[in-house]
Amino acid sequence: MKKTPVLLLLVALFLTSAVRSQTVQLSVSDTSGPQISRNIYGHFSEHLGRCIYDGFWTGDHIRMDIVDALKKIKIPVLRWPGGCFADQYHWRDAIGPKDQRKRTVNATWGMVTEDNSFGTHEFLELCGLLGCQPYVAGNVGSGTPEEMENWLEYLNFNGKSTLADLRRQNGRQEPWNVSFWGVGNESWGCGGNMTPEYYAGEYNRYSEFCKDYPGAPLKLIASGANGPDYNWTEVVMKNINRGRTWGLSTHYYTVAGTRQHKGSATSFGEDDYFKAMEACLRMETIVNKHSAIMDKYDPKKKIALVVDEWGIWTDAEPGTNPAFLYQQNSMRDALIAATTLNIFNNHADRVKMAALAQTVNVLQALVLTDKDKMLLTPTYHVFDLYKVHQDAHSLAVKFSSPDYGHGGEKIPAVNVSASKDSSGAVHISSGKS
Ligand code: AHR
């Protein structure tokens, strides 16, 4: 029998006070597994609080200090304009001369005035500066198939048409060839309170009008389950036009407390720490269970599981608008990011895209700003360390984790992923609880 070559490593891991420093023996298979799509390292930017306005976009320009920081971590894909905001967004409100753009209300996030100064052109300019793929979430909840069809023509048609000419008149000659396209967001909740049966019908109706223009084949992503809602995945996978589907999303947030009292981002004890890590590790079960359902309908794994919202959600910082979801970032956030990215790396056969919520000033951000100042959070540095896994081939890791016990419960103290890049270099990343 042919033996699989392994790399043996002894890793000294310095764990929390509850677990004494221990040596963990790892063996890493040298047999390449599935490729880890760079898009697992994606991000999310919503018209919410200070992510876009007073974040990426100040006054009338894109902040280049933020762009430079995100280029450094090789941001591969950016999701926009929501989130819940996507299903109240009407793209025509935010094109053309700024002073003629519609003023609307961001009714989802704080009832603030949306001046639409950041719209389609600005978002795609941002993606161009970042060198990343755009991922647009289309409006199913309060939109129409016609509105979605028109937006795609405006974005992607290179020929002569009133909408393509309008794009040119607004300053963009060439089509953008946007490919990643979300058909709604959280359609079970803020995206329209639909049942999975109803949504599957809507998906089939909308996707019929999402046209592939020459040179711009779409990768359609169906709105997916709320964390462990496996029935959503079952019904949607069964009923959607799978041949017209590139991915199915799911959203899962790490919450240490309750929905009403999520706990502070910085002022927490071991109890909250343990609960957060325990909740974060649940991502593994969520990915496994959704994947098993998808395997039934898509055994060749052609449809991606897209975890396009994840991260820790805490109480907003005291003194800030609670609807703006501004939270601080600590080493706990870094460990949550590392642990989650290890889970995604280890399921690269099915998880082919993900997006941390959210890039700037919202939830588990990479970048926090204060007027013209900017800081990079602990989470940012995890993405910097983990960028070596982008497009590398995953390697199976065998090891036995010590337990981290607290309050009569136990979770694994260590988690790991590994990959081999195109130069043959092996990278091993470890998270801990
Ligand atoms: O990321 C914040 C919100 O969380 C998003 O708008 C929504 O999709 C989710 O519920």
Ligand 1 neighbour 186 (Cβ under 6 A) = yes
CB 86 within 8 A of CB 185: yes
| CA 286–ligand 1 middle distance (angstroms) | 18
Q: Which residue has the tokens 């949504």?
A: 199
Q: Is the pLDDT of residue 88 over 70?
A: yes
Question: Helices then strands (H, E): number in the chain?
Answer: 9, 21
Q: What does the pLDDT average to over 122-135?
A: 98
Q: What is the pLDDT of residues 340-385, one digit of tens each?
A: 999 999 999 999 999 999 999 999 999 999 999 999 999 999 999 9
Q: Is 46 in the pocket of ligand 1 (CB under 6 A)?
A: yes
Task: Kindly report each contact of residues 72-76 with a partner whose C-beta sits within 8 Å and lies 24 or more positions away, as own/partner.
Answer: 72/384, 73/41, 73/366, 73/380, 73/383, 73/384, 73/387, 74/38, 74/41, 74/387, 74/390, 75/41, 75/42, 75/43, 75/130, 75/131, 75/132, 76/38, 76/39, 76/41, 76/42, 76/132, 76/133, 76/390
* C-alpha closest to that of 94 among 110, 59, 129, 118: 118
Distance from residue 152's CA to the centre of ligand 1 (Å):
24
Cα of 193 vs centre of ligand 1, distance in Å, is 14
pTM of the model: 0.95
Q: Which among 289, 394, 300, 279 is positioned nearest to 346, based on CA atoms?
A: 394
From 79, 84, 253, 262, the mutation candidate for ligand 1 (largest count of ligand atoms within 8 A of CB) is: 84
pLDDT value for 30: 87
For tokens 């081999």, what's the residue? 420
What is the arrangement of strands in the sheet containing 414-420, beginning at the earlier edge strand? 6-13, 22-35, 393-399, 414-420, 426-432
Token representation of residue 277: 């890590």
Per residue in 105-120, pLDDT (tens digit) is 999 999 999 999 999 9
Q: Residue 415, SS3? A: strand
What the block records as the tokens of 30 is: 């040298």
Percent of the chain with pLDDT over 90: 91
Looking at residue 19, what is its pLDDT? 55
Peptide bond into 358 cis (omega under 30): yes
Q: Which among 137, 287, 155 has a CA at the least distance from the CA of 222?
A: 137
- H-assigned helices in 220-269: 230-239
**Mean pLDDT throughout 393-419?**
94
Task: Give one DSSP letter per residue of 61-95, joined into a string.
Answer: EE-HHHHHHHHHTT--EEEES-SGGGGG--GGGG-
* Distance (Å, whole) CA 157 – CA 339: 41
Among the options 186, 197, 270, 317, which is catalytic?
186
Computed over every residue of the chain, the mean pLDDT equals 95
pLDDT at 149 over 60: yes
Give every CB contact of residue 130 below 8 A, 6+ residues apart in sequence. Answer: 67, 70, 71, 75, 78
Q: Are 399 and 1 in contact (CB under 8 A)?
A: no
* pLDDT higher than threshold 50 for residue 170: yes
pLDDT at residue 6, as a whole number: 56
368-389 as b/e: b if 16+ CB within 10 A: bbeeeebebbbbbebbebbbbb
Q: pLDDT value at position 21?
A: 67
Share of the chain above pLDDT 70, in %: 95
Write the CB contacts of 316 (distance below 8 Å, at least 6 apart in sequence): 322, 324, 325, 326, 327
- pLDDT above 50 for 1: no
* pLDDT of res. 432: 85
What CA–CA distance (Å, rounded) separates 255 from 2? 45
Ramachandran area for residue 181 (φ above 0: left; ψ -120 to 50: alpha; else beta)? beta
Assigned token pair, 160: 């002569």
Q: In sequence order, which ranges of 300-398 are alpha helices (DSSP H)? A: 331-346, 378-386
Token match 């996507």: residue?
Answer: 86
> Which tens digits make up the pLDDT trace of 6-37?
555 544 444 444 455 678 888 999 899 999 99
Task: Please indicate whether residue 84, judged by its CB atom, sits closer than 6 Å to ligand 1.
Answer: yes
248 or 13, higher pLDDT: 248
**Confidence (pLDDT) at 113:** 97
Name the catalytic one among 234, 309, 317, 409. Answer: 309
Q: What is the mean pLDDT of residues 154-182?
A: 98
Helix (H, G, I), strand (E, B) or coil at 215: coil
Q: Which residues contact 155 (CB under 8 A, 6 or more apart)?
A: 120, 124, 136, 167, 175, 176, 177, 178, 216
State yes or no: pLDDT of 248 exceeds 80.
yes
Instruction: Give the tens place of pLDDT for each residue, 308-342.
Output: 999 999 999 999 999 999 999 999 999 999 999 99
